[in-house]
């Protein structure tokens, strides 16, 4: 049927490229956009294009920042610059921030090692993390309790221990459910896991 509506087929194809958008929701999202007023569609596209042009990643920790602006974490005198929390993604970092208990800085990997998906260590920001280790006293491993997260954590720990044996490596307490991403963990659980973190 969609072959007879190529414009709609192309829209659905583009939506399928969006990670984390469940297949069953693609049609709903397409309908939502098509039913929007033209002015609102134009505004949405303008905001997206503006964000694409003005937002860049910090070259140290890889959080999103305004172009030409200083990183709110790396350049802050109120954060412990020698304590680095390693997370998979930007939204995982937001989850830790919402707990309002962590005062160090971050390092966003941009994913986890996943051979089945063709994601290797060199595709992540692990090399940049290692470059930071000479000036830190603690690395907190805060990746999800998944097979891919465990593989990535182990790889990172081995590299740090080999090159920077003086650095304390800790991980979140086991209150974090197995298979869970940080973004789905409630604030109290995450706060407790951070406070009770343990040596690797």
pLDDT at 6: 92
| Among the listed residues 108, 101, 96, 105, the one whose alpha carbon sits nearest the alpha carbon of residue 78 | 105
The CATH code for residues 75-199 is 3.40.1360.10
In degrees, rounded to 5, the angle at the alpha carbon of residue 103 between the alpha carbons of residues 64 and 20 is 40
pLDDT at 11: 94
pLDDT at 172: 85
Q: Over the stretch 95-119, which tens digit does the pLDDT of each residue have?
A: 999 888 899 999 999 999 999 989 9
- Indicate the domain borders of the chain: 2-35, 75-199
The average confidence (pLDDT) of the chain is 91
What one-character DSSP code corresponds to residue 119? B
| pLDDT beyond 70 at 174 | no
Pairing relation of β-strands 138-141 and 80-87? parallel
Under the banding of pLDDT at 50, 70 and 90, the label for residue 21 is confident
| pLDDT beyond 60 at 176 | no
Of all residues in the chain, the percent with pLDDT exceeding 90 is: 74
pLDDT at 188: 77
Q: CB under 8 Å to 119, separation ≥6 — which residues?
A: 111, 112, 113
Q: Over the stretch 48-100, which tens digit does the pLDDT of each residue have?
A: 999 999 999 999 999 999 998 899 999 999 999 999 999 999 999 999 998 88
Span 7-23, average pLDDT: 91
**Residue 93: what are its φ and ψ, rounded to 5°?**
-60, -40
pLDDT at 99: 87
Under the banding of pLDDT at 50, 70 and 90, the label for residue 180 is low
The pair of structure tokens assigned to 131 is 């470059």
């Amino acid at each position: 049927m969609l072959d007879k509506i190529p414009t709609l087929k192309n829209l659905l194809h583009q939506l399928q490229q969006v990670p984390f958008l469940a297949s069953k929701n693609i049609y709903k999202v397409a309908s939502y956009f098509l039913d929007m007023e033209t002015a609102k569609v134009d505004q949405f596209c303008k905001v997206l294009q503006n964000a694409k042009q003005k937002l860049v990643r910090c070259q140290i920790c890889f959080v999103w920042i305004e172009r030409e602006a200083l990183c709110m974490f790396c350049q802050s005198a109120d954060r412990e610059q020698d304590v680095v929390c390693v997370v998979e993604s930007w939204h995982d970092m937001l989850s830790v921030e919402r707990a309002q208990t962590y005062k160090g800085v971050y390092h966003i990997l941009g994913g986890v090692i996943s051979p089945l998906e063709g994601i290797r260590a060199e595709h992540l920001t692990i090399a940049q993390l290692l470059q930071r280790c000479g000036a830190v006293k603690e690395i907190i491993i805060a990746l999800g309790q998944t097979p891919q997260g465990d593989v990535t954590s182990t790889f990172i720990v081995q590299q740090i221990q080999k090159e920077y044996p003086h650095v304390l490596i800790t991980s979140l307490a086991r209150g974090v459910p197995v298979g869970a991403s940080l973004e789905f963990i409630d604030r109290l659980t995450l706060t407790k896991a951070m406070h009770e973190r343990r040596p690797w």
